């Protein structure tokens, strides 16, 4: 009689930038608030590893992520500008954590190469683009993407995004008649999001496609056409956002992992994801 494979919960590797930010308490508190919210939401159905790329470096980050069923790259500081070919000194530039940048770039490339589902959130989307040959707008010059009071009140900006109906991302949008997820006249799906960013993707590079934009043209979503890898510029983990949005994106990660398992070699005993 063949033994049934062990049943386990899927493993989610959540990569943050750094565990401590001396001299930047308000920013650290805001980033931690968002990470806490995501981990709390995911922990109901995932075993979550909460990691810090600056602390761990590239080798340890990759080693810790190798048995993950899915990966999330969280928000944080700007990426070191030389990594996408521009000079420092742009408007709004803050501190950089280069060790974290390199570790998360390596993590994004690993996910694409191995077919591990990955979601990039805000900076995480930008990491994904830079990792795969894209570049960034150093300072977004259109209003509405960030709140001047965010570090004080943790209230993010609100704006619409338009999602391509044929995209992987579109499958992760809760549909409501006359509301979020409803189509615009061009057939794209309209979604109200919460955001806090002063940079964005300028060119996603040769390996990603744009899946969502703001009405002003700012890139808000990218995805890989041949791997379960995507990024969103907004913060679905914001505690004030509709929790159905984050649940749906976590569902996409699970769907991607189950698809990857289904394409794996036959005859190998694999744990069942519950």
Residues classed as catalytic: 122, 235, 237
Looking only at the bridges linking them, the beta strands covering 229-232 and 272-273 are: unpaired
Distance (Å, whole) CA 220 – CA 66: 28
**How many Cβ atoms sit within 10 Å of the Cβ of residue 126?**
29
Name the phi and psi angles at 129, rounded to 5. -65, -45
Distance (Å, whole) CA 111 – CA 232: 16
Cβ 213 vs Cβ 228: under 8 Å: no
Classify residue 243 by its DSSP letter: H
**Residue partners of 170: CB distance under 8 A and separation at least 6:** 163, 164, 189, 211
Tokens 């994106």 sit at which residue? Answer: 249
Closest C-alpha to 42, from 233, 235, 273, 246:
246
């Amino acid at each position: 009689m063949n033994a049934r494979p062990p049943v386990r919960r899927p493993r989610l590797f959540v990569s943050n930038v750094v565990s401590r930010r001396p001299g930047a308490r308000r920013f650290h508190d805001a980033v931690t608030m968002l990470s806490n919210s995501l981990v709390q939401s995911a922990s109901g159905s995932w075993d979550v590893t909460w990691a810090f790329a600056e602390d761990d470096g590239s080798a340890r980050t990759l080693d810790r992520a190798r048995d993950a069923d899915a990966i999330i790259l969280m928000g944080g500081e700007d990426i070191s500008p030389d990594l996408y070919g521009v000079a420092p000194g742009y408007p709004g530039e803050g501190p950089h954590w280069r060790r974290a940048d390199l570790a998360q770039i390596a993590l994004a490339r690993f996910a694409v190469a191995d077919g591990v589902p990955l979601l990039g959130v805000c900076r995480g989307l930008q990491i994904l683009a830079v990792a795969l040959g894209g570049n960034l707008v150093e300072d977004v010059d259109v209003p509405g993407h960030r709140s001047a009071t965010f570090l004080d009140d943790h209230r993010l900006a609100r704006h619409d995004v338009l999602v391509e109906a044929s995209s992987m991302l579109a499958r992760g949008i809760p549909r409501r008649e006359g509301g979020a997820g409803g189509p615009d006249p061009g057939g794209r799906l309209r979604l109200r999001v919460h955001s806090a960013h002063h940079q964005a993707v300028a060119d996603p590079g040769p390996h990603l496609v744009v899946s969502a934009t703001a009405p002003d043209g700012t890139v808000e979503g990218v995805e890989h056409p041949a791997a379960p890898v995507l990024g969103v510029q907004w913060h679905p983990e914001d505690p004030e956002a509709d929790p159905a949005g984050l649940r749906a994106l976590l569902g996409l990660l699970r769907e991607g992992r189950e698809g990857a398992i289904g394409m794996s070699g036959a005859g190998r005993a694999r744990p069942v994801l519950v």
